[in-house]
Structure 1
Amino acid sequence: MFFEGSEKKAQIVVKDKQLSLLDDITDDFWTAFVQCCNAQILSSIRNDDCKAFLLSESSLFVWHDRLLILTCGNTRLVHSVEFFIQHIGMDKIKQVIYQRKNEYFSHAQPSSFGDDIKLLGQYVTGKGYRFGELDSHHNYIFHQDNSFQADKLDKTYELLAYQISDRASEKLTTVGLTAQEIRQFLQLDKFFADFTLDDFVFDPFGYSVNAIKGKKYLTIHVTPQANSSYVSIEANINLIKIAADFLAILAPKSFDLLSFNDFDFANLTNEFIPKNYVSKSLVSEHLSNNYFVCFANYILPQQKFMQATVLDLAGENHAL
C-alpha cells in the first residue's frame, strides 16, 4: 500500500485590523475551504490565540491574523488558496506563501508546482524558488512580491524524515495501535506536556497530531509504510534543538530541515544534528518578504548492501 505523505503548504497573512480569522470566520467557511482540496475536518481544538483543525489529509491552523494549512496525499491545496482569495478578497490579504516538497510519486499528483503557481498567478504576483537539488530532496517556495515584511521573530521549523527504520515502521504499523501508544513512542509528553493535543490514528496506518499552547503550535504527520515512509514535524518552536531526540526514535535514512527566520541555523545544526548524518545540500535565501529561509538535506551514509525491492507488476503504476 502506497500513500503520498509529503505535504503541500500554504500560509496566508491578513490585515487583522479589518478581519480576525479566528473570530470573524465561521467553521462552515473552514469546512468549505478544506473541501476545495478534497479534505475534511475530523476535529478541532482552540484557545484564545489559535484554533487547530485536524484534517483527513493533515492540518489547518488559524490565528487572528493568519492561517497555515498543510495537506498530503493527492490534494490540490492551491484550490483552497484560490477559494480563500475569492471569498476574502486580495484587499484584505497581506501575504500569500505556497510550498511544495519533492514527492515520492510526483507523477501521480494531479498537478505540479508549476501548474499551481500558474493558477495562483491569476491573483498574486510573486517570486518562486527551489531549495535543494532537483535530483534529490528539495522544497519549492512561492511568495507574494509586495511591500509585506515579516517580523524577524516570526520563526517556524520543519523536520521531514524519510525512510524511517524498520523498527519504527513496524511499531507504527502495528494493528490496533492507539493514539496514546503513538504519543508515548514519539515521546510527545517529554517536550509538549503543557500543550493541548488533538490526534487521530488512521485505518489501516497513519497518525496525525496537532498541539497548541497560546500562539505556539506543533503538528506531526506519520506515513509509516516501509516502502514510502515519511514523518513530518512542523512547529514555531525550535525543532533543531530537539531534532536528535526525534532522529533517535525514527532513525531515518535521510531528513530535511527547513527554517524561516532562524539566523543561527548553521550553528544550531552543527551543534544539535548527530554527526552520523552528513549534509548533502545546504541552501539559504533572504526573501523579499523578509523571511530568511534555510534548507538542509541530511543523509545517513549506508555501509552495507541491501536487497533490491521486488515490484508488484500488477499493482499500482506509480509504485513502479
Structure 2
Amino acid sequence: MAPNFDETLYNTSESPSDIVGLTSNVLPDEGYRADPALASSILSSSDDESAQAIDRDYTGFFEGPEKTLEVVFRPIEDSQHAAVAPGQLTESISTNGEYPLVGLRRLARPDLDRICERARCTIISSVSNRFLDAYVLSESSLFVYPYMLVLKTCGTTTLLRCIKILIDLGHRLGLEIDWVGYSRKNFNFPGDQSFPHQSFQQELDYLYSHRSLCDRLDGNGYTLGPVTGDHWFVYVADHTTRKTSEFDTDRVLNIMMFDIDETVAQKFHYDQYKTGIEGESKDDEMNRISKEQTVKSGINELCPGAVIDPRAFEPCGYSMNAILFHSYSTIHITPEAGSSYASFETNQKVKSYKSLISNVIRTFRPKHFCLTLMADEGGLLEMKENPLTDSALDSKIVVPGSAKAGAGKKYPLLYKRSSMASIKVEDDCCCLMGNWVMDKKSENSQVHPLRASKSRGLSVS
C-alpha cells in the first residue's frame, strides 16, 4: 500500500520517523513503559485544561477512524456488591423491571453524561436488552454491560480523559478494573488532536499516570503494521484469570474502510432526502431519514434479527448501533469527499467472519480497508476461517462492483491483502491487523470475473 501521509497536514508528533523510534521500544516481549515522573506531571498540569480545548473549524475533512477504549471490571473482594459472580448477574438482566440492573448498568444517566463529557461527546439515543445498553453518541458509540464498558469516539475527542471517572464510578459500585484495552489507527490529521491524543507516546504516558488510582493500569503499548502506511496502536493491561468455558472467550472484529464508493457516500448526505414535510417535526424527520439511509444503503441486511438504532447527521454522516443477545455491532460513516470513511465493529462470536467481511465490503466498496481482530487464545481457536491468517490466495476478497457510467454490467472488485501483523500480549490477548487494497485492474473493469478465483499457475480454458 502506498504511504497515506499528507505532508501539508502532518504533525511531527506522529511523523514516520517518530513512529519508527517509538516502534523500537514497542517490542513483542517488552512493550513500551512510560516514565512515571513525566506521566504524573502530564496528568496534573494538563488534564483539566484540556476540557476547555476548542475544536478546529470544520473544513470538510473529518478524522473518521475511532479511538476505542474497553474496560472490564470485577467485584472488589469483601464488597457488598460482590455477592454474585459476574456470569450469573449477566444472565439475570432485563430493562422492563422484571430483573434488577446490576454492575455498571446501575449507573444513572448523569454518570454516563459525565463520562461522555470528559471525552467531549454527548449521548443522542439508546437501545437496550437484557444483556447490555447501547448508546449512539455525537461521535460514535458507548456500550455498557454489567462488568464491561466499551467507548468508541472519533474526530478530536479526548477519550482517555474519562479513565479517572470510570475508576471512581467503579469503586462506588464495588468494582475494580480487571482489564483495559485501548486502540486506534494512526491519525489522518494528527495535528488536530488535543491532549492526551497528540501522539501514541503521550497516550501511554497519560494511561500510566493513573497508576496511583489503579495499579491494574500497568500495561504495555504496541504498534502493528507498516509505519509508512496504515498501522494500529494497541495498549493492553490484562489481569484477567481465564476460564475454560466457550462462553468466556472474547473477540472483537473491526473493519476500517477508506475512500468508499462515491455513490454509496452520497446516500449519507442529508440533503439527498426530502425535508420540510408539512406537519413533520424535526425529530420525526431525523428518525425517518435515519431509517431511509439504513435501508437504502443495505446496512439493515448486515445485522439480521438485531435491534437497530440508526442516526443520520446534518449535513452528512451516519451512526448505527445494533444489539442481538450478548453482542453488538456498530457502524460509523463520514462520507466527505477526500476523506470518506466507514467502520464496522462487532463482538459477535462466530466461527468464521469471512461472509460478514465480504458483505460489509460489498456494501461500501472502499478503495482500501484495514482489518483488526483482538481475541483471547480460546476465541481465536474457535475460528475456522480467518482472512488475517489465511494464505495470500485465500485472503483475497471479491465483491460485486458498481456499474460504470453508460455500462450496465457490474464487474467484480478484487481486494488483495498487502500486509499483515500479529502479536500476543500479556497472557493470552492476541492482536491481529491487516491491510487490503482494491486491485486497480478490477476497479477499471479490466479483470475477468473468473480471474479473482483463479489459482496461480493454473489455466482456465
**Bin of the TM-score, shorter chain as denominator length:** 0.7 to 0.9
1:157 maps to which residue? 253
Please, which of 135, 138, 141 is the counterpart of residue 231 of structure 2? 138
1:156 and 1:97 mapped to 2: Cα distance? 11
1:210 maps to which residue? 321
- 1:13 matches 2:72: yes
The one-character-per-residue Cα deviations of 1:102-153 (angstroms, maximum 9, x if unpaired) are: 2210121112222121111022211111111111111111011545548762
Alignment CA distance shift 1:24-1:292 (3 Å): same
Structure 1 SS opposite 2:136:
strand
Cα deviation for residue 272 of structure 1 reads 7.0
Please, which of 299, 303, 310 is the counterpart of residue 188 of structure 1? 299
Q: 39-48 vs 162-171, which deviates more?
A: 162-171
Query: Match for 1:279: what amino acid?
Result: R
What TM-score comes out, normalization by structure 2 length? 0.62
Conserved in 1, the CA contact under 8 Å of 2:264 and 2:297? no
As a proportion of its length, which structure holds more strand? Answer: 1
Extract structure 1 runs of 4+ deviating beyond 4 A: 147-152, 303-306
Cα deviation for residue 93 of structure 1 reads 0.9
2:428 maps to which residue? 290
1:150 and 1:69 mapped to 2: Cα distance? 25
Cα deviation for residue 155 of structure 1 reads 1.6
Unaligned runs of 5+ in 2: 1-59, 76-80, 87-101, 212-216, 274-288, 399-412, 445-461
Conserved in 2, the CA contact under 8 Å of 1:243 and 1:272? no
Cα deviation for residue 193 of structure 1 reads 3.1
Specify the structure having the higher radius of gyration (Cα): 2
Alignment CA distance shift 1:247-1:119 (3 Å): same
1:116 maps to which residue? 203
2:33 maps to which residue? none
- 1:47-66 matches, within 5 Å, as 47-66=129-148
Q: 136-145 vs 169-178, which deviates more?
A: 169-178
The one-character-per-residue Cα deviations of 1:10-48 (angstroms, maximum 9, x if unpaired) are: 000000563843443222111100110110011111111
Cα deviation for residue 97 of structure 1 reads 0.8
User: What percentage of aligned pairs have identical amino acids?
Assistant: 26
Cα deviation for residue 289 of structure 1 reads 4.0
Cα deviation for residue 87 of structure 1 reads 3.7
The size of the alignment, in residue pairs, is 306
Cα deviation for residue 303 of structure 1 reads 5.0
1:316 maps to which residue? none
Please, which of 170, 180, 183 is the counterpart of residue 88 of structure 1? 170
2:157 maps to which residue? 75
As a proportion of its length, which structure holds more helix? Answer: 2
Structure 1 SS opposite 2:253:
strand
Please, which of 397, 406, 410 is the counterpart of residue 273 of structure 1? 397
Cα deviation for residue 59 of structure 1 reads 0.3
Conserved in 1, the CA contact under 8 Å of 2:125 and 2:136? yes
Please, which of 107, 111, 128 is the counterpart of residue 221 of structure 2? 128
1:252 and 1:49 mapped to 2: Cα distance? 33
Please, which of 171, 183, 191 is the counterpart of residue 99 of structure 1? 183
Structure 2 SS opposite 1:36:
helix
Unaligned runs of 5+ in 1: 307-320
Cα deviation for residue 201 of structure 1 reads 0.6
Alignment CA distance shift 1:26-1:6 (3 Å): same
Query: Match for 1:130: what amino acid?
Result: T
Query: Match for 1:256: what amino acid?
Result: C
1:317 maps to which residue? none
Conserved in 2, the CA contact under 8 Å of 1:150 and 1:291? no
